[in-house]
A and B are shown apart, each in its own frame.
Chain A
Amino acid sequence: MILGHLCRRSVASAHCKKSSILNSVKSFSHWSQYEMGPPDPIVGLNEAFAADDSPLKVNVGVGAYRSDDGLPSVLPCVRQAEKLIMGQNLNHEYLGIVGDTQFVDLALKFAYGKDSRIFADNRVAGVQTLSGTGGLRVFGELLASKGGHKHIYVPNPTWGNHIPIFKNAGLEVRKYRYYDSARSDLEFENTIKDMEDMPEGSVVLLHACAHNPTGMDPSPEQWAQISKVMKEKKLLPFFDCAYQGFASGNAPQDAHAIRMFVEDGHLLATVQSFSKNFGLYGQRVGALSVVAANEAEAKKVLSQMKMTIRPMYSNPPKYGAQIVKTILSDERLTNDFIDQCKDMADRINAMRFSLRSALEEGQQDRSWEHVTKQIGMFAYSGLTKEEVTLLREKHHIYCTLDGRISMAGVTSGNVDYMANSIKDVIS
């Protein structure tokens, strides 16, 4: 019989026949009716870039540093740390739920400054996280499930992934005015106005430095004003710090807003990523910290962070944190890191100037001043969706639809091509 010959196993033929019948009955699947989900706007770009076989193609989408030859680079201090780790013959045992506590301590001191009063007071709760994304998600869940928060305010615009992170954490995402694309500048008075209108106790996301995607940060005076209004309205500052050291090339300088807010007495939270500044992207190294009123409170918050982490991924990955720990606990390696991080920041800055001058060459009608005014990895070019699409389709240059260009992907080899292509699509 037809069914019989399908049975290739030496199981009783009656059983085999029965299972073949059931096989054909169960051709229905639980997943058949689900739609294709949209590709991620940033990461999806990488995939499209990889599939493009044009020799001219340029990837200025994802914020990952490239050296001037357009290749990924691993910092020499990271390579050095890896050798040291290898020599120690360390094992791969589980970290605790909070991660590598030495790493956490060093990470927090990197952000807050080792002399910050919060350490002497023992009132900061810190955990190792899956880079910035992981820290944002854990804190978002904490706010929603334990802190009684229903919403969070994020700047407009902000990193695209912020919105689904907080939504999935159980928070309604609201926006406050931040950047005026018409003038390619902050609309600071509106930021203050919006903060004044926020319900008391609201949590407000702030980019610590090198705002993504605009690259425009408040000045120190403006930060002081933000701090004041947030104090008055009892708002909770939540810093996303993904570019410390990378923005100006000076790590303590890049953390000045966070440190100012701590001095001003805010009970703030900070998420740190070590993806860009240490070039550890795929290792997923980060930290989440909450500055509490006192030690007892910090302990309680830490216990709740653990309860959020355990059913998500149990404990964080070891290797990347080991690298950062090895570097930051060694004076020489730390100095090497500072130099190498500054080199990255300087190369990006040089590319900003090159790109701007190439864009302004031979034409006066459009200002490209913002390219050099902006800080950090990205240039918020002001290109429209249509122009970005044309840039991709005609010139094989990949950047996100909001016109955000990762300057880390610009090199002396492609900057002229980029400028000419941009001039072509805006004409």
Chain B
Amino acid sequence: MKFNLISLFLLVSSARSFSMTAPSKNYLAEIPMGAPDAILGIAENFKKCTDPHKVNVCVGAYRDENGKPWILPSVREAEKMLMDDPSENKEYASISGDAVFVEQAIKFAYGQQVDLDKIAAVQTLSGTGACRIGGEFLGKFYPVKKIYIPDPTWGNHISIFENCGLEVVRYRYYSRATNGLDLKGMVEDIKAAPDGSIVLLHACAHNPTGCDPSHEQWKVISDLIKEKNLQVFFDSAYQGFASGDAEADGFALRYFVSEGHNVMLAQSFAKNFGLYGERCGTLSFVTQSADEKERVLSQVKRIIRPMYSSPPVHGSSIVRKVLTNDKLTKQYYEECAFMANRIASMRNLLVEELKKAGSTHDWSHITSQIGMFAYTGMNSDMCDKLTLEYSIFLTRDGRISLAGLNEKNVAYVAKAIHSVTDGKSITTTE
């Protein structure tokens, strides 16, 4: 009797709360927990970690010699100028963004003499946004819905292009047996692609491997792509950051354009201008004529408008300010070289410290790789150990962001890497 009363009471009260909170067809109840993002999830774990020795070599964001984010002085200067300029307001940009910024960005990528009349370009939400808009355009208009991307590549590429309705296929790129470029495998896989497929190329400082083709190798790749009539889509996230010289870093893109490829380019100012969170980038198409340029632009705008209407202007205003001011531009190039040089010195220091720690592995790939990352060759078990035992946070593919290293922590990191790799292989045999 008591039991029945209690259960009746529970039934009644739960029925009341049920009617107050949820109609019976609750769509939310069916939604599963989404998988956490690999890279950003690790960054969150780093934040939560309380070990005083913790090192973040996970996210690709530049850090100074004290492990702190660095605001480029030219960027700060530009921001002050924007604040003091009464003609700057908060109005909507057009769908295609800040036209002056876009023009400067395109010149920065393609070279000052570029024929702007034939380049259809829009401002985008950094590199991700450019890949997404470009991918949506291809998914909508391009006849071959297959995009070939390097193995490995930035993890988010796959998700982006799949969301655009493209089939993502990998081409061999990096050999873990040699810790170097697998040109033979790359050529084979590209040859096997259907003619007219889309091919994604990292313009410089390949993410995650830091391994770029040489100029001669780029020429081989270009000729093959021409033979196959592939649509080239460059992803350029590290121009200026790779070698320290923005002009030199533009080689591959500019070579392909001079060879007649009608390339697409996703350009990011996140790293080279340190504008990460302001989401500043461009997407461009090299077209055949001014008329084709207008038609492509009109269609790209139809993809942007129902996604976010128009891009955020703060980051692009900063880049515009810098690149339209001779003094600031000169200063910027120096600061960019400064960042690249610090990273390059960390490469050398890490390898020195590894030797000092007693490691007998061949770590030369760390110094020959370019850009923000070193693809160490460590496997996922070693990476997990590094994180669990030494509070060193990296991605499980063995990629470390050298920007997270400095003179204070490099010895610690080297010793840790030595201890997890000692007596084990850092290359795989095919």
Which residues of the other chain, B, contact A353 by a CB distance below 8 angstroms? none
Q: A120 contacts the other chain (Cβ, under 8 Å)?
A: no
Asked, given contacts A92-B276, A130-B125, A313-B128, whether A282 binds B306 with beta carbons under 8 Å apart, the answer is: no
Give A22-43 as 1s and 0s: 1 = Cβ < 8 Å from B's Cβ atoms: 1100110111101111111001
Check A282–B93 contact: CB distance below 8 A.
yes
Nearest 7 pairs of A and B residues by beta carbon: A303-B34, A317-B312, A130-B308, A318-B277, A313-B125, A319-B314, A37-B298
Q: B358 contacts the other chain (Cβ, under 8 Å)?
A: no
Which residues of the other chain, B, contact A93 by a CB distance below 8 angstroms? 61, 69, 276-277
Within 8 A of A (CB), among B308-353: 308-315
The residue that B278 contacts in the complex, of A83, A92, A161, with Cβ under 8 A, is A92
Check B79–A31 contact: CB distance below 8 A.
no
Check B299–A34 contact: CB distance below 8 A.
yes
Shortest Cβ distance from residue B200 to the other chain A in the assembled complex, whole angstroms: 14
5 new A-B contacts at CB < 8 Å, known A303-B34, A307-B34: A31-B288, A34-B141, A34-B295, A290-B28, A310-B40
Task: List, sorted by A's number, 30 A–B pairs whose CB atoms are closer than 8 Å.
Answer: A19-B260, A26-B229, A31-B288, A32-B292, A34-B141, A34-B296, A34-B299, A36-B298, A39-B298, A40-B95, A40-B302, A47-B94, A74-B89, A82-B83, A86-B80, A92-B315, A94-B277, A133-B309, A134-B309, A146-B31, A164-B306, A234-B25, A267-B22, A292-B28, A304-B32, A306-B37, A311-B162, A312-B132, A314-B279, A319-B315
A284 to B93, CA, bound (A): 10
Which residues of the other chain, B, contact A29 by a CB distance below 8 angstroms? 262, 287-288, 292
The residue that B92 contacts in the complex, of A83, A236, A282, A290, with Cβ under 8 A, is A282
Q: A201 contacts the other chain (Cβ, under 8 Å)?
A: yes
Q: A362 contacts the other chain (Cβ, under 8 Å)?
A: no
A310 to B128, CA, bound (A): 8
Which residues of the other chain, B, contact A373 by a CB distance below 8 angstroms? none
Shortest Cβ distance from residue B64 to the other chain A in the assembled complex, whole angstroms: 11
Check B288–A300 contact: CB distance below 8 A.
no
Check A36–B295 contact: CB distance below 8 A.
yes
Check A317–B277 contact: CB distance below 8 A.
yes
Closest A residue, CB atoms, query B308: A130
The residue that B279 contacts in the complex, of A167, A310, A317, with Cβ under 8 A, is A317
The residue that B28 contacts in the complex, of A26, A297, A310, with Cβ under 8 A, is A297
Which residues of the other chain, A, contact B44 by a CB distance below 8 angstroms? 96
Which residues of the other chain, A, contact B288 by a CB distance below 8 angstroms? 27, 29, 31-32
Q: A149 contacts the other chain (Cβ, under 8 Å)?
A: yes
Shortest Cβ distance from residue A305 to the other chain B in the assembled complex, whole angstroms: 8
Give B41-76 as 1s and 0s: 1 = Cβ < 8 Å from A's Cβ atoms: 000100000000000000101000000010100010
Closest A residue, CB atoms, query B303: A168
Give A113-146 as 1s and 0s: 1 = Cβ < 8 Å from B's Cβ atoms: 0000000000000000011011001000001001
Give chain B's interface residues, CB within 8 Å of chain A.
19-37, 40, 44, 59, 61, 69, 71, 75, 79-80, 83, 89-95, 125-126, 128-129, 132, 141-142, 156, 159-160, 162-163, 196, 226, 229, 231, 259-262, 270, 274-279, 285, 287-288, 292, 294-296, 298-299, 301-303, 305-315
Which residues of the other chain, B, contact A359 by a CB distance below 8 angstroms? none
Q: A4 contacts the other chain (Cβ, under 8 Å)?
A: no
Shortest Cβ distance from residue B300 to the other chain A in the assembled complex, whole angstroms: 9
Shortest Cβ distance from residue A147 to the other chain B in the assembled complex, whole angstroms: 5
Which residues of the other chain, A, contact B196 by a CB distance below 8 angstroms? 30
Q: A315 contacts the other chain (Cβ, under 8 Å)?
A: yes
Q: A62 contacts the other chain (Cβ, under 8 Å)?
A: yes
Shortest Cβ distance from residue A268 to the other chain B in the assembled complex, whole angstroms: 11
Check B128–A312 contact: CB distance below 8 A.
yes
Which residues of the other chain, B, contact A311 by a CB distance below 8 angstroms? 128, 132, 156, 159-160, 162-163
A286 to B418, CA, bound (A): 47
The residue that A22 contacts in the complex, of B69, B226, B274, B298, with Cβ under 8 A, is B226
Give A301-332 as 1s and 0s: 1 = Cβ < 8 Å from B's Cβ atoms: 10110110011111111111000000000000
A83 to B28, CA, bound (A): 42
Shortest Cβ distance from residue B193 to the other chain A in the assembled complex, whole angstroms: 15
Closest B residue, CB atoms, query A303: B34
Asked, given contacts A30-B142, A282-B92, A312-B307, whether A94 binds B23 with beta carbons under 8 Å apart, the answer is: no
Which residues of the other chain, B, contact A143 by a CB distance below 8 angstroms? 27
Give chain A's interface residues, CB within 8 Å of chain B.
19, 22-23, 26-27, 29-32, 34-40, 43, 46-47, 62, 64, 72-74, 78, 82-83, 86, 89, 91-97, 130-131, 133-134, 137, 143, 146-149, 161, 164-165, 167-168, 200-201, 231, 234, 236, 265, 267, 275, 279-284, 290, 292-294, 297, 299-301, 303-304, 306-307, 310-320
A320 to B314, CA, bound (A): 8
Check B156–A37 contact: CB distance below 8 A.
no
A149 to B59, CA, bound (A): 35
A280 to B91, CA, bound (A): 7
Check A267–B260 contact: CB distance below 8 A.
no
Shortest Cβ distance from residue A348 to the other chain B in the assembled complex, whole angstroms: 18
Which residues of the other chain, B, contact A32 by a CB distance below 8 angstroms? 288, 292
A92 to B275, CA, bound (A): 5
Closest A residue, CB atoms, query B72: A92
Which residues of the other chain, A, contact B310 by a CB distance below 8 angstroms? 43, 282, 284
Check B126–A283 contact: CB distance below 8 A.
no
Shortest Cβ distance from residue A31 to the other chain B in the assembled complex, whole angstroms: 5
A40 to B231, CA, bound (A): 28
A149 to B270, CA, bound (A): 36
Shortest Cβ distance from residue B207 to the other chain A in the assembled complex, whole angstroms: 14
A283 to B30, CA, bound (A): 35
Check A310–B292 contact: CB distance below 8 A.
no
A283 to B196, CA, bound (A): 39
Which residues of the other chain, B, contact A290 by a CB distance below 8 angstroms? 28
A32 to B311, CA, bound (A): 27
Which residues of the other chain, A, contact B129 by a CB distance below 8 angstroms? 312-314
Which residues of the other chain, A, contact B34 by a CB distance below 8 angstroms? 300, 303-304, 306-307
Check B262–A131 contact: CB distance below 8 A.
no
Check A94–B61 contact: CB distance below 8 A.
yes
Closest B residue, CB atoms, query A22: B226
A29 to B298, CA, bound (A): 17
Asked, given contacts A91-B69, A283-B90, whether A301 binds B31 with beta carbons under 8 Å apart, the answer is: yes
Which residues of the other chain, B, contact A200 by a CB distance below 8 angstroms? 25
Check A94–B21 contact: CB distance below 8 A.
no
A293 to B30, CA, bound (A): 12
Shortest Cβ distance from residue B37 to the other chain A in the assembled complex, whole angstroms: 5
A274 to B291, CA, bound (A): 37
Check B163–A267 contact: CB distance below 8 A.
no
Asked, given contacts A293-B21, A304-B34, whether A35 binds B262 with beta carbons under 8 Å apart, the answer is: no
Interface core residue of B71, B89, B285 (most chain A CB under 10 Å): B89
Interface core residue of A30, A265, A312, A317 (most chain B CB under 10 Å): A30
Check A265–B302 contact: CB distance below 8 A.
no
Check B59–A147 contact: CB distance below 8 A.
no
Closest A residue, CB atoms, query B297: A37
Which residues of the other chain, B, contact A314 by a CB distance below 8 angstroms? 125-126, 128-129, 156, 279
Closest B residue, CB atoms, query A136: B306
A348 to B25, CA, bound (A): 42
A307 to B34, CA, bound (A): 7
Closest A residue, CB atoms, query B40: A97
Which residues of the other chain, B, contact A275 by a CB distance below 8 angstroms? 92
A46 to B71, CA, bound (A): 35
